[in-house]
């Protein structure tokens, strides 16, 4: 991989990995909560038809009157879809299963990949969204139109990578998609960083994976590693961020450390 040093930080971060179950949503919720605790105003944009970020923050499906689907359709400005998460400085634009239809519904629109960018960056949106220090976009487990919309809207991409045997599998395809977006839709897109998740310190394999990933990818990998921690997986069933459900568990501590690293790090440019 050819990774160059950064120039400027990005405020809109797309959390991307086409594999499911690697920790995208857990990272969106808990990094978001940790940044909010550091006096940052955070918006989570749920762009997954499964709506796990919305559910994990306690937004009932019936309470999702305006959603990211309506925003992508152009029926609603982003500001109208935003709700408070009930946690200070943390808001969410929720998703419903309607989102799963956008690939087909927008097939004839040549600007279909720029819908989210327009909603987040258009001059009309600027006043509503200027208050946010960070916008975290929780992507679906796919490199589909929704994920391309997120990458086109974003300043940078954050990639959660599960510490498992096939951790790097699929990364070439993901980096290829990022490069294609950089060449056409969003030349300014950077990689903010790669975060290792579900690290199991009792398992020799996790340490081996960490070593390999750092050797292969270098400085783009955050120093912070998120441990496998049952409290992180329990929290969503209580409709709470882990940082609220159990603020002192190892997972919450790791996400606070990641927030510190995110606040201090600029994006890394992926050379084409
Ligand atoms: P994705 O959004 O990439 O599909 P999730 O964040 O939903 O992944 O995580 C998949 C599952 O693993 C969820 O049940 C989640 O609660 C759990 N999980 C995520 N991160 C951790 C972790 N560090 N330790 C333990 N369980 C985790
Ligand atoms: Mg998810």
ipTM: 0.99
Asked whether 229 lines ligand 1 (CB < 6 A), one says: yes
Phi and psi at residue 118, in whole multiples of 5°? -60, -40
Residue ranges for the chain with pLDDT beneath 70: 1-10, 266-272
Query: Residue 251: CB within 6 Å of ligand 1?
Result: yes
In this prediction, residue 54 carries a pLDDT of 98
Q: 110, 123, 118: which is closest to 152 by C-alpha?
A: 118
> Helices then strands (H, E): number in the chain?
13, 10
Q: Which CATH superfamily is domain 10-265 in?
A: P-loop containing nucleotide triphosphate hydrolases (3.40.50.300)
Report the separation in Å between the CA atom of 19 and the middle of ligand 2, taken as the mean of its atom positions. 9
- Full-model pTM: 0.94
Please report the DSSP string for 71-102 in residue order: HHTTSS-HHHH-EEEEETTEEEE---GGGGGH
Structure tokens belonging to residue 172:
């070439």
DSSP E strands, the chain: 3-4, 12-15, 42-46, 83-87, 90-93, 134-138, 156-162, 190-199, 221-227, 269-270
> Ligand 1 centroid vs 255 CA: distance in angstroms?
13
pLDDT at 2: 38
Distance CA 63, CA 182 (A): 36
């Amino acid at each position: 991989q050819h990774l160059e040093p950064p120039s400027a930080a990005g405020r809109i971060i797309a959390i991307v990995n086409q594999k499911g179950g690697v920790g995208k949503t857990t990272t969106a919720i808990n990094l978001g909560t940790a940044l909010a605790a550091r006096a940052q105003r955070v918006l989570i944009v749920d762009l997954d038809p499964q709506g796990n970020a919305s559910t994990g923050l306690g937004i009932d499906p019936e309470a999702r009157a305006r959603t990211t689907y309506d925003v992508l359709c152009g029926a609603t400005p982003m500001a109208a879809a935003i709700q408070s998460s009930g946690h200070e400085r943390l808001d969410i634009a929720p998703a419903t299963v309607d989102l799963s239809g956008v690939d087909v519904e927008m097939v004839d629109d040549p600007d279909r990949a720029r819908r989210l960018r327009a909603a987040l960056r258009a001059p009309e949106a600027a006043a509503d969204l200027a208050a946010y220090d960070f916008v975290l976009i929780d992507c679906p487990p796919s490199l589909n139109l929704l994920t391309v919309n997120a990458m086109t809207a974003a300043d940078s991409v954050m990639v959660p990578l599960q510490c498992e045997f096939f951790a790097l599998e699929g990364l070439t395809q993901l980096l290829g998609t990022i490069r294609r977006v950089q060449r056409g839709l969003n030349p300014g897109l950077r990689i903010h960083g790669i975060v290792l998740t579900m690290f199991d310190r009792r398992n020799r394999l996790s340490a081996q994976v960490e070593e390999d990933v750092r050797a292969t990818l270098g400085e783009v990998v955050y120093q912070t590693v998120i441990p496998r921690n049952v409290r992180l997986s329990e929290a969503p069933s209580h409709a709470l961020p882990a940082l609220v459900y159990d603020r002192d568990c190892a997972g919450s501590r790791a996400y606070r450390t990641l927030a510190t690293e995110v606040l201090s790090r600029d994006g890394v440019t992926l050379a084409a």
